[in-house]
Amino acid sequence: MGKPRKRAPWGDLLGKPIERLFPRNDHLGEVSERDAMAQQFKKMCRLKDRYGIEGDRGWEPWYQLALALATEIDDAVTIIDPLPRPSGKTAPRWRGAEGLQLLAEVQALSEEYEGKVKQYAIFAELQELCPQRYGKMSLDQLKTNYHEAKRHHANSTKRKAD
């Protein structure tokens, strides 16, 4: 035996299930297939009312009802807004201590390889060595950040010398 069915999120709004009885029993006053479908439609309209969905023509209200029902069952169907981006550009980050650290790490690896390795290979190795710091960036992003740090710190060194 399977698990007992959970209670519907909308409670007892729809009542009991509709029994499907075959046309041969129509003369006994029982529900035919067509009548069962009409009852089903009325119950679906009650659900649309519960979720505040208007209209019954076209596909959109029924799609909205399907989404409403699906979100009751699984949050994976919901649409959420992403977290707000940090204000300002990311470049200032590379003008500070993080930029100096990146410059030092790239320089250390360049010296280790004695300039025999291309810069992209050094960036790729940095991503492997420091996945927390650089692992989520693309190589192009890392290269851009490196050059931003290099440009800023080269200029700030010149300014201090003047």
User: For 114-138, how does the pLDDT look when each residue is reduced to its tens digit (9 = 90+)?
Assistant: 878 888 888 888 888 888 888 888 8
Query: Which residues are within 8 A (CB) of 66 and not within 5 positions of it... i.e. 6 or more apart?
Result: none
Q: Once rounded to an integer, what is the mean pLDDT over residues 44-60? A: 86
Nearest-angstrom CA–CA distance, 131 and 24: 71
- Look up residue 1 and give its amino acid: M
CA angle (41, 44, 50) in 5-degree steps? 145
Query: pLDDT at residue 86 above 80?
Result: no
User: For 91-119, how does the pLDDT look when each residue is reduced to its tens digit (9 = 90+)?
Assistant: 567 788 888 999 999 898 888 888 788 88
The answer to whether 45 and 65 have CB atoms below 8 angstroms apart is no
